Each structure stands twice: as structure tokens, then as C-alpha cells.
Amino acid sequence: MTRIIVDTDAGVDDALAIIYAAHSPELLLEMITTVSGNVPVEEVTQNALLLKRLLSLDLDVKSGASLPLKRQLVTAPEVHGGDGLGGYRIGNNIHFKDWRTDDAAEKIVESARRLGRKLKIVSIGPMTNLAYAVANDGDAMRKIGGIVQMGGVFHGYGNTTTFTEFNMYVDPDAADFVLKSGVKLDFVPLDLTEKIFMPRNILTSLLNSTRKMSGELKTLVTQSLSYYMAYHRHTDGLDGCFLHDPIAVAAVVNPAWFKFVDAFVSVETSGILTSGMTLADLRTGKGRSNSRIATGIDARLFLDDFARKLFGRTISARVMKKDCMRDRFGPEFSNALQ
């Protein structure tokens, strides 16, 4: 059993990732820390507290950075709704009063000192809290089992600007700081996560037939996914959604499902057109690697595990291959990362 902290900006796919982590006996969820990203940290923290209640989790939710290290906050209400959950929480007037602004970075460091290599951090938002934690106690952070970061794009196009993925775009300075710190980092990038797609009809079937979710949790997931899928249909012409953040959790649930390559990863922090762009140098001679990049996944095993843990159902291998796998880019983008 791996002990994890989920550091999140709690949008729709973040919520799915937290549910997946909570239902995975391979993991012990120690704490949820929140950071501004998809929505401001106040909304993120409310979402995390709601998920804590609906999942009956015995853990702390600690709020963290409200702003990126050096720049203005960029959010994505068009993707996740103004509350990060497709309007579910605001529409139902759900608000938790018994919380305060905490130093999430300090709590991360405390866990790092206490657990050492037994701890992994699943970062599914901007890396601002992690940068503050490294600045607080880099030695302790370098001794943990590592950070799995959902983020980056290493060939082809981004999902925020032409060249950038959202988490890296929001706070590239934080990502740059962590990368230069010597902390163990595994990237789960768009290159991988956008190869798996959940069509609306499959998600609807899973939700309609599930007996695993409580009524309120099912309603939350249904409404938030509806908003999320509407965005993808409008912007990409895709009727369904990606599972970016659950795939990052899966990299800790079972790393054997993944193929990783060593790389020296850098993040552009000052480019006018490329701020947040991630660059991978694959010439990994002695001392040249600071990260690993996930370049492959056994999609069948992941999707089966994800569907069983969230919905108590399975997806047939034929349906997975036909409907859930996609070629992200044409062959002109082929390179060593494939």
C-alpha cells in the first residue's frame, strides 16, 4: 500500500481522480491539499471538502496557494464551471464554513519528514504548493518516494495554448523550481492522457447502472461530467471526455501498467508564445536525467480498473479498443517519445 497526498485544483477530472484514489486499496490517501488552478483555491477547497464528506474520508483537507509564484492566476471556468464541478455545488448551495486558509506546503513537508520514501505525491494541478514545500525543506522533499505530475506536453499541441498544457501554463515558475530541485518527478503528459477517451454513451451507461455510488455522489458526477463533456463537444467536436487526472493516479496504483522514459525536462518561463512549454532532452547519459515521462500505458487494464472502482462495472475489451482509444496526432509528430 502506497501512502499518497493528492495536491489538486479540484475540477471535474480531479474529482474523478480523488474518487478513484479513495476506492483503490493499493493506496492510502493521507491528505488532500488544494491549489488555485481550474478555479480559485477557495472553490477548490470547498470541492475537496464535499468529496471528503461524500466519500467518508478520514483525512485532512488543507488549502494552499491562491496565486502562482510570479504571475496572475489563470482559471478555466469554461471547462469546469465556476465552482469547478459544473455548477453542482453552487447550484445546490453547498458551502462549508468550518475551514480556514492553511499552509498546505507546510503540511506537505511535515508528511515528507514523517513518511520519507513511503510517501508519494500525486499532483493534478499547478505545482505552486510543491514549489513552496521544496523551498521550505528541499532535503525532506528529495527523500520522498516521488511526485507524479499530471502535466506537460512533449510533442504536438497543448490544451491551453498551442504549445502548453494547463497545469504547466498556470505556474511555469513553480514547475521550473521543482524540476531544478532534484525531487523525483514522473510526468503523465497530454501526449499519453489524450490517447484515452471516454465517450458519452459509455459514461452514461456506467452511471445509469452503477450501484456503487451514493445518490448524491452519482448526481454530482453526472452533472459535472455533463458540463465537462459539453465543453469538449463544443471546442473539440468530441462527445465525451478525457481522464487526465485519473491516469495520473493510476501511475501510483500500478506503475507496471506504464512505460516510462528518462529525460531532462525543462519548462519555458519567459516566452511570449511558449510560456509553460515543456521540453524533453532524451539524451540521458550519466547525470542528465531529472525526470521520467510516461509514454505508454496498458489502457485495457487501466480502464477496467477505473470502471470497476468507480462504477462497479467493466468495459469490454472490444468496446475499449473501438471507442476509447484514439490517435492523438498524425504520424508527422512521431519521435522517440512514442
Place of cell 452511471: 207
The string of pLDDT tens digits covering residues 229-254 is: 999 999 888 899 999 999 999 999 99
The CATH number given to whatever domain includes residue 116 is: 3.90.245.10
What share of the chain in percent tops pLDDT 90?
Answer: 86
SS3 166: helix
Q: Exposed, middle or buried by CB within 10 Å (0-12, 13-18, 19+), for 94?
A: middle
Q: Residue 7: which H helix or E strand, with range?
A: strand 2-8
Name the phi and psi angles at 20, rounded to 5.
-60, -45
State the average pLDDT over residues 320-326: 89
Name the phi and psi angles at 94, rounded to 5.
-95, 120
**pLDDT class of 288 with cuts at 50, 70, 90:** confident
Flag whether 213 is in a domain.
Answer: no
- Catalytic hit among 80, 95, 234, 244: 244
Average confidence score pLDDT of the chain: 94
Name the phi and psi angles at 188, rounded to 5.
-115, 95
Flag whether 207 is in a domain.
Answer: no
Query: Which pLDDT score is estimated for 327?
Result: 78
β-pair type (278-281, 240-242): unpaired
Domain with 158 in it? 2-195+243-297
Give the chain's count of helices (H) and strands (E): 15, 11
The string of pLDDT tens digits covering residues 191-241 is: 999 999 999 999 999 999 998 899 999 999 999 999 999 999 998 888 999
Whether the per-residue pLDDT at 333 is higher than 50: the answer is: no
State the average pLDDT over residues 17-34: 98
Flag whether 174 is in a domain.
Answer: yes
Residue 286: count of CB within 10 angstroms of its CB: 5
Flag whether 152 is in a domain.
Answer: yes
Is 244 designated active site? yes
Number of domains in the chain: 1
Q: Which three cell numbers stand for residue 281?
A: 532532452
Residues 276, 40: Cα–Cα separation, whole Å: 19
Query: Which pLDDT score is estimated for 45?
Result: 97
